[in-house]
C-alpha cells in the first residue's frame, strides 16, 4: 500500500524557517517524481514545487522561488521542503504528492499544517 | 500560466440526482486533465485522469469527458458519500494548475 506521511509543520514567525519531511512507503521511491502542493485555509490547491525521480530536475512556483528548496534522500525514502523567509500567505496545509508515470497526481499524503504568525 | 475555471462554485443536488461539473482551461491542455475529490478534513483523492479514465476503485457513476479547453465531470446518481469539493487540474503545462473547486452540497 502506498503511503506518504508528512511531518515538520508548526507555528513559525514571519521571516522564519521550517523544514517539512515526507516519508514514502509501499513503492519504489527512486522511480517517481514527487511534488509539494499546498492549500491555504478554506482555499483551493496550489502547486509549490517538484523534483524528478533522480533529483536533477527541480521546479518551483513563482510564489516560493528563492525561498523554498526541495530535495530528496533516496536512502531514507524521504522528500523534503526547506522553507525560508516565511510569509503569512505561505500558511496552509502542505501535501506531499506522488506524480504518476503519466504525470497526474495519483497518491497524496494527509498533509502537514504550517502556521505563520507572530 | 494556464488558468483553470470551474463552474458553478457550488452545486446543490438531491440524493440520486445527476450532477454536472464544468472546468474550462484558458488554453488547450489536450486531454491532460485530472479530477480530484476532497472531503472535509481529508486529502484530495484522484477520480479521473486523461480527462475520461476512472482511477482505480472509482465507481462507474463518475465519468469525465472533454478535450482541449472544455471538460465535464458527471456524477450520474449522487450518493451521500459524494458530497465534497471537486477540483480539476491540468498537467499539460508548467506550472500545474488547479481550478478553484466546485462544492457539491445536499439540496
Portion 32-51 of B in contact with A at CB < 8 A? 32, 34, 36, 42-46, 49-50
Verify whether the Cβ–Cβ distance B95 to A61 is below 8 Å: yes
Kindly tell me if the per-residue pLDDT of B106 is higher than 90: no
Count Cβ atoms within 10 A of the Cβ of residue B30 and give its class: 0-12 exposed, 13-18 middle, 19 or more buried: middle
Which of B43, B96, B101 shows the shortest C-beta gap to A95? B43
**Of B34, B50, B101, which is closest to A44 when you measure between CB atoms?**
B101
The partner residue sitting opposite A44, judged by closest CB among B32, B45, B87, is: B87
User: If you measure CA to CA, which chain B residue comes closest to A59?
Assistant: B95
Asked whether the predicted pLDDT for residue B88 surpasses 90, the reply is: yes
Quickly tell me which residue has 524521504 as its cell.
A78
Gap between the Cα atoms of B51 and A28, Å rounded: 27
Give the residues across from A84 on adjacent strands: none
Asked whether the beta carbons of residue B44 and residue A95 sit closer than 8 angstroms, the reply is yes
Per-residue pLDDT tens for B56-66?
999 999 999 99
Per-block mean pLDDT, blocks of 10 residues, chain A (118 long): 97 97 97 97 95 94 97 97 97 97 93 96
C-beta of residue B66 within 8 angstroms of C-beta of residue B72 = yes
Residue range B46-56: average pLDDT? 97
* pLDDT for B107 beyond 90: no
Please report, for residues A11, A96, B44, the alpha-carbon distance to residue A93 in angstroms, rounded to integers and kept in the order given: 12, 10, 12
Contacts of B10 in chain A (CB under 8 A): none
Amino acid at each position: 500500500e502506498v503511503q506518504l506521511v508528512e511531518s515538520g509543520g508548526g507555528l513559525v514567525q514571519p521571516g522564519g524557517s521550517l523544514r517539512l519531511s515526507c516519508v514514502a512507503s509501499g513503492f519504489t521511491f527512486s522511480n517517481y517524481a514527487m511534488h509539494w502542493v499546498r492549500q491555504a485555509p478554506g482555499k483551493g490547491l496550489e502547486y509549490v514545487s517538484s523534483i524528478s525521480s533522480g533529483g536533477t530536475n527541480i521546479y518551483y512556483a513563482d510564489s516560493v522561488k528563492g525561498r523554498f528548496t526541495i530535495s530528496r534522500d533516496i536512502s531514507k525514502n524521504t522528500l523534503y521542503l526547506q522553507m525560508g523567509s516565511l510569509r503569512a500567505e505561505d500558511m496552509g496545509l502542505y501535501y506531499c504528492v506522488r506524480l504518476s508515470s503519466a504525470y497526474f497526481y495519483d497518491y497524496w499524503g494527509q498533509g502537514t499544517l504550517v502556521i505563520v504568525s507572530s | 500560466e494556464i488558468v483553470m475555471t470551474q463552474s458553478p462554485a457550488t452545486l446543490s443536488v438531491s440524493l440520486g440526482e445527476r450532477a454536472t461539473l464544468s472546468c474550462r482551461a484558458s488554453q488547450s491542455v489536450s486531454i491532460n486533465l485530472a479530477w480530484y475529490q476532497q472531503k472535509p478534513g481529508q486529502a484530495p483523492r484522484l477520480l479521473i485522469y486523461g480527462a475520461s479514465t476512472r482511477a482505480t476503485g472509482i465507481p462507474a457513476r463518475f465519468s469525465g469527458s472533454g478535450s482541449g479547453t472544455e471538460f465535464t465531470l458527471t456524477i450520474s446518481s449522487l450518493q451521500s458519500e459524494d458530497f465534497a469539493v471537486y477540483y480539476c487540474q491540468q498537467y499539460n503545462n508548467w506550472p500545474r494548475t488547479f481550478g478553484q473547486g466546485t462544492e457539491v452540497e445536499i439540496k
